[in-house]
Structure 1
Amino acid sequence: MSPLPEHLLQATRSRTEKVEKRARAALAQLAKAGAPISFTAVARKTAVSTDFLYKHPELRSLIERHRTKGGQVTGARSAEADSSSTSAAVRALGARLAQQRQSHHQEVALLRKALEVTQGENLALRRRLAQYEVD
């Protein structure tokens, strides 16, 4: 059984079909105008994410074919460029994540130390108060 109700699945399919049609139309317009064809150019013209274009197999192959026809990027070079830019992005995000993790660990250590100090002060005040309380 699907986690989504049927009406939501239909709405998603309908929206996807509309975006596919817009992407194909944008691709045709770019090709007709002789403009450089890339995933970014089609995404901007279509108002859709490049992620959608990359994940949609038919649109991806269409864009890659048009891009190759334009003489901008050959198939072997495009795969190499995509993988190098992807790995560079992954490395950059990994480094940023490691830096944030270290920063958070330092912040947590400082907060724990402050909590220990506060709990110690609280205990000392409770002991002083206990001296003045009459049972």
Structure 2
Amino acid sequence: MTLLPKHLRQATRARTQEAEKRARTALAELAKAGKPISFTAVARQAGVSTDFLYRSPELRTQIERHRAKAGPVPAGPADPPGDSSTSAAVRALSARLTRQQEAHREEVAKLRQALAIAQGENLDLRRRLARYEAD
């Protein structure tokens, strides 16, 4: 496994630290405003993915602590239209996958039909050949 060059590691580290800083700021702003705190709310406010928040032990602990203080989060709209969160990307990819699966099913059905026709023709030719060889 090759390591990244030093400048790329530094850039990655800086980008991660900046995202963590935005997440902490978003968490503080949500708490100060008295808004419900959830991984999704913090991710939207900070412009990071929920996966990033879940993978960061410190941020995850802080968000869970705030959620526990506030009690259960009221159910709101699942994802408003035009949302650019991770779940919107997941929905888009799921829809694409569903379309591809349907296209593959249709292709497989056509191939099975062609195979059945070819096997029928093969069987017919074998029978005809057997009749000629019997003579």
Query: Do both share a fold (TM > 0.5)?
Result: yes
Find the aligned partners of 1:97 and 1:7 in 2 and give their Cα distance.
Answer: 37
Find the aligned partners of 1:65 and 1:11 in 2 and give their Cα distance.
Answer: 30
Count of aligned pairs: 96
State TM-score, norm by structure 2.
Answer: 0.58
Q: 1:102 and 1:51, CA in 2 relative to 1: closer, same or farther beyond 3 A?
A: same
Q: Aligned AA for 1:60?
A: R
More helix by share: 1
Find the aligned partners of 2:56 and 2:23 in 1 and give their Cα distance.
Answer: 11
* Displacement after TM superposition at 1:2 (Å): 4.1
Q: Does 1:5 align with 2:5?
A: yes
* Displacement after TM superposition at 1:105 (Å): 4.2
* Displacement after TM superposition at 1:55 (Å): 1.2
Q: Which structure ranks higher in relative contact order (CA pairs < 8 Å, sequence separation ≥ 6)?
A: 2
Within a 5 Å distance, the mapping from 1:1-135 to structure 2 comes to 2-72=2-72, 101=101, 103-110=103-110
Find the aligned partners of 1:52 and 1:16 in 2 and give their Cα distance.
Answer: 9
Q: Aligned AA for 2:23?
A: A
Q: Aligned AA for 1:10?
A: Q
Superposition RMSD in Å: 3.3
Find the aligned partners of 2:25 and 2:108 in 1 and give their Cα distance.
Answer: 52
- Deviations 1:6-60 (Å, cap 9, x if unpaired)? 1111100000000001100110111111110001110110011111111111111
State TM-score, norm by structure 1.
Answer: 0.58
Q: Which residues of structure 2 form unaligned runs of 5+?
A: 74-89, 118-135
Sequence identity (%): 65
* Displacement after TM superposition at 1:110 (Å): 2.0
Find the aligned partners of 2:98 and 2:29 in 1 and give their Cα distance.
Answer: 43
